[in-house]
Amino acid sequence: MEIVDYQQEIKELKKTNRIIQKKLERSESDRVKLEDINKKKEYLLRKVIDELKEYQNNLEERSHELEMMLLNLQIMQNKMSSLGGLVADVAHEINNPVGFIAGNLTPAQEYIENLLHLIDLYQQTYPKASEEIQETIGVIDLEYVREDLPKLISSMKEGTDRISNISNSLRIFSRADTEQKVLFNLHEGINSTLLILKHRLKANKIRPAIELIQGYAELPLVKCFPGQLNQVFMNLLANAIDALEESNSGLSFDEIKANPNQITIHTALIEDTNHVLIQIQDNGVGISADIQQKMFDHLFTTKPVGQGTGLGLSIAYQIIVQKHRGTLEVKSVLGEGSEFIIIIPIY
């Protein structure tokens, strides 16, 4: 082989060596890059695992909180159920003696009228009464007794009627729901709730009485869970009173009287859809737009700690929407008042 051929072969070998060397360098570079990528992937993977573990821990804590909350709600429900049964029993027991007294007041009034009539006859027949009788008439003040006794009986009758009404309202309000819906007079439920809240509607040293405007339409009996609907009425009406009392802050008695606190309750029958409409409106402080979006959320409340659980409107929403396949909406203007609109099917 000639020298030229060897030189050419050496050149080829050198060229091949350079190519191999470059490939090795690129391979090493790729290996380093791959290691960097793997380290980054490993770091990200560890980070994701740590975040998942933290998320799992948070979920477990939240799950525990929800379990405790559910347990507390069940305890509260059991207490309310027991309290409802107790109230119904007490109302029933009150009705018995009140009914006895009310039943005896009418004949007692008749007896008194008969006795007074008999006294009148004696006075007409024997106009000259003995000195002892005249003295007794003066001592007992017969004319005052004659005038006041019927008023006394009438007042007692009015008192027994009021006790009976309160007892019936408590019985209607606290009635236990069955597993199946029953026919119910919605106006009875609203009125029983109003009677229970009557002490909050009355005038006091700070403000005049809250004006109550009721516009009831002729409604059929509605198939529903009465106890649950009464709870909705109680929440909405109590919130309306709270809103009115908040709007009175800083105002004098006369200023409130000039623009009186009002709660308006309106019912109507939506015949074309077989639904009933219930509107509860107040002229209190109103609700801002951002709060309106959250007010039916679970545990949301604007009240100070210890004064509200955030369950009232949330439960009301569940009762209307989930239990009765209806709708519960709010319309409000800040500073002017709020209106809650309930629509539920008749059957």
Sequence-distant (6+) residues with CB within 8 A of 10 are none
Mean pLDDT of 325-330: 94
State the DSSP code for 325: S
| Mean pLDDT, all residues of the chain | 84
Query: Rounded to an integer, what distance in angstroms lies between the CA atom of residue 287 and that of residue 304?
Result: 16
Cα angle 18, 21, 23 (rounded to 5 degrees) comes to: 110
Question: Is 50 exceeded by the pLDDT of residue 344?
Answer: yes
Q: How confident is the model at residue 129 (pLDDT cuts 50, 70, 90)?
A: confident
Query: Rounded to an integer, what distance in angstroms lies between the CA atom of residue 193 and that of residue 263?
Result: 14
Query: Rounded to an integer, what distance in angstroms lies between the CA atom of residue 227 and that of residue 184?
Result: 10
State the DSSP code for 184: E
Query: Rounded to an integer, what distance in angstroms lies between the CA atom of residue 78 and that of residue 269?
Result: 35
What pLDDT score does 160 carry? 85
Sequence-distant (6+) residues with CB within 8 A of 218 are 269
Entry pTM: 0.61
What pLDDT score does 305 carry? 44
Share of the chain above pLDDT 90, in %: 32
Closest C-alpha among 340, 77, 84, 325 to residue 222: 325
Query: Rounded to an integer, what distance in angstroms lies between the CA atom of residue 166 and that of residue 196?
Result: 7
Per-residue pLDDT reduced to its tens digit, 43-68: 888 888 888 888 888 888 887 777 77
Per-residue pLDDT reduced to its tens digit, 221-244: 999 998 889 889 988 999 999 999
Per-residue pLDDT reduced to its tens digit, 106-127: 888 888 889 888 988 888 888 8
CA atoms within 13 A on the CB side of 9: 6
What pLDDT score does 299 carry? 59
Question: Is 70 exceeded by the pLDDT of residue 177?
Answer: no
Phi, psi of 214 (to 5 degrees): -115, 125
Burial (0-12, 13-18, 19+ Cβ within 10 Å), 201 = middle
Cα angle 265, 219, 316 (rounded to 5 degrees) comes to: 50
Q: How confident is the model at residue 74 (pLDDT cuts 50, 70, 90)?
A: low
What three-state secondary structure class fits 140?
Answer: helix
Closest C-alpha among 231, 227, 92 to residue 167: 92
What pLDDT score does 236 carry? 94
Partners of 215 in the β-ladder: 266
Query: Rounded to an integer, what distance in angstroms lies between the CA atom of residue 321 and that of residue 332?
Result: 20
Question: Is 80 exceeded by the pLDDT of residue 71?
Answer: no
CA atoms within 13 A on the CB side of 209: 8
What pLDDT score does 268 carry? 96
Question: Is 70 exceeded by the pLDDT of residue 263?
Answer: yes
Please say whether the beta carbons of 185 and 221 come within 8 A. Answer: yes
